[in-house]
Amino acid sequence: MTLGQPIMHSSKATDEWWRGAVIYQIYPRSFQDSDDNGIGDLRGIVCRLPYVALLGVDAVWISPFFTSPMKDYGYDVANYTDVDPMFGTLADFDAVVEAAHALGLKVMIDLVLSHSSDKHPWFRESHRSRDNPRANWYVWADAKPDGTPPNNWLSIFGGSAWHWDARRCQYYLHNFLASQPDLNFHEPAVQDALLDVARFWLERGVDGFRLDTINFYTHDARLRDNPALAPEARNDSIAPAVNPYNHQDHLYDKNQPETVGFLRRLRAVMQPYNAAALGEVGDAQRGLEILGQYTAGNDLMQMCYAFEFLSHDRPDAAHVAEVMTRLDQVASDGWACWAFSNHDVERHASRWALSDAAIRTMATLIMCLRGSVCIYQGEELGLGEAEIAREDLHDPYGIEFWPEFKGRDGCRTPMVWENSNQSGGFSLGKPWLPVASEHLGLNVAGQEADEGSILSHYRHAIAFRKAHSVLRNGEHGGVRTENGIVWFIRGQGAGAVFCAFNLSEGDAQMDSPQGKWQPVGGELGAVAPGAGGVLKLKQWQVCLLVKAL
């Protein structure tokens, strides 16, 4: 076989900072504790930002730090415009922004707009009566004649998505915990209030938002039942296999067309600040399609991520090619952001049972894909999932489905900075979650002293992406596979980068690309083609070539 010219897929010519950016996710409870109470905080983030900047990333995404009863650990917001005392104060947040900007980092914060806490003043007023000023700010519905919920919608956290409120004698919708009532986006005043929240943080200097559960914003106003989903169509990328949530095709409880109108309004608010949004698309059947819908054109969201690479099955060459090809088909005018790990899924080192060599290869791969990239704190250390005992569990999701699904605490344990104590330098107090003993030996200080460490590899991979601008925002050739190797060409002409990754279970080979190419990426372990125009790669080996004049 001789490699021909790939079909080029052009990126928009733009200077937007977010396009192709590498974003580092910080889970504040577990990043750094500055007052030794066992819980990470904003001041802790400030003191560790130089480390983040040294990784070479462009931005940080900080998970929720707002006032909250912490039933879902910050994703149940009781005050959208203040900091929970456990994390600090608004002044501490301002210090985060100032320190980040001084280091050249953008700051993105996690906005949870689809639902609030039931302790939020909006809900406290809404549930008092059916005729108060905020009576329609949440999704209320009468019971069926037999007293059962209005329809068959299910909560991701288990059971019905409807909870009975004795004061109003109505059900309210909660796609997550019963203490997380869904806001009613069909009510214009709700949209206005949430846009004011965005303005508040933009005025404080944030550069963008990660938008939690973006496709859950709007529900079907007619409250129609979701149809059943055929067993063969089910997958566990959004909810664990033991959760009956997977038994429905979620046509009506989310993914409604009216959401686009709100996103357009939000983009208009963000535009004067040159801010960017990253939407989380939680849908197991049509995530890429929704991604394309929400990022199309210049007046919606800049980026979204779906769960194709956050699922349990390790992506082989065919799967990577399938995802990227499908994205080209359904989101040709959109922009994806890729992640292998985050605060909601088992860490990918464990989820995919990766060796150190595999971790390095997957890190190089994600830095070469068309799109932006998110990396999750500790991923750059090669941390695997921590084993959490039942008595130490905090996550309500894990408590509900234990032991078949152990929840999200295993990926949320504290960051390990050094080997000075059993908390890995995270705190002098007892950490809110135990630090895994196997994590201690992977601490930052130890890896910084080792040029061959996984941390060093991540730094090199991010630097390689920055050194070759086509990897950040260049044209995208069709993604192809051969003999377990996934390969593609980013850009065209001088400076184009050929990327090939052996994701198979053994040795593999393919023909080298035509033309004059120079080997690069030696610091990433990349190998050059051999004699005769044949590229031979052992398992997890990589080839990176730059097109010469």
Alpha-carbon Rg for the chain, nearest whole angstrom, is 23
Which residues, at least 6 apart from 295, have a Cβ–Cβ distance to it below 8 Å?
A: 279, 301, 302, 303, 304, 331, 333, 334, 335, 336
Question: Is 192 a residue of the active site?
Answer: no
Which residues, at least 6 apart from 108, have a Cβ–Cβ distance to it below 8 Å?
A: 23, 59, 60, 61, 62, 206, 207, 208, 209, 210, 276, 278
DSSP assignment, residue 115?
B
Where residue 56 falls (left for φ over 0; alpha for ψ -120 to 50; beta otherwise) is: left
Which residues, at least 6 apart from 85, have a Cβ–Cβ distance to it below 8 Å?
A: none
d(C-alpha 38, C-alpha 44), whole Å: 11
CA atoms lying within 13 Å on the CB side of residue 125: 12
Q: For 514-547, b where at least 16 C-beta lie within 10 A, e where not — what string?
A: eeebeebbeebbbbebeeeeebebebbbbbbbbb
Please report, as a single letter, which amino acid is at residue 137: W
Cβ atoms of 452 and 287 within 8 Å: the answer is no
Q: One of 280, 289, 379, 395 is an active-site residue; which one?
A: 280
d(C-alpha 451, C-alpha 433), whole Å: 30
Q: One of 182, 212, 344, 395 is an active-site residue; which one?
A: 212
Q: Inter-axis angle of helices 258-270 and 188-203, to 10 degrees?
A: 30
d(C-alpha 476, C-alpha 487), whole Å: 12
d(C-alpha 446, C-alpha 430), whole Å: 22
Q: Distances in Å between the alpha carbon of 468 and those of 100, 368, 372, 443, 473?
A: 24, 10, 14, 30, 10
Q: For strands 508-511 and 534-537, give the pairing.
A: antiparallel
C-beta neighbour count of 72 within 10 angstroms: 21
d(C-alpha 439, C-alpha 459), whole Å: 19
- DSSP-assigned states of every residue in 159-192: SBSEEEETTTTEEEE-SS-TTSPBB-TTSHHHHH
Question: Is 36 a residue of the active site?
Answer: no
d(C-alpha 179, C-alpha 170), whole Å: 15
Active-site amino acid positions: 212, 280
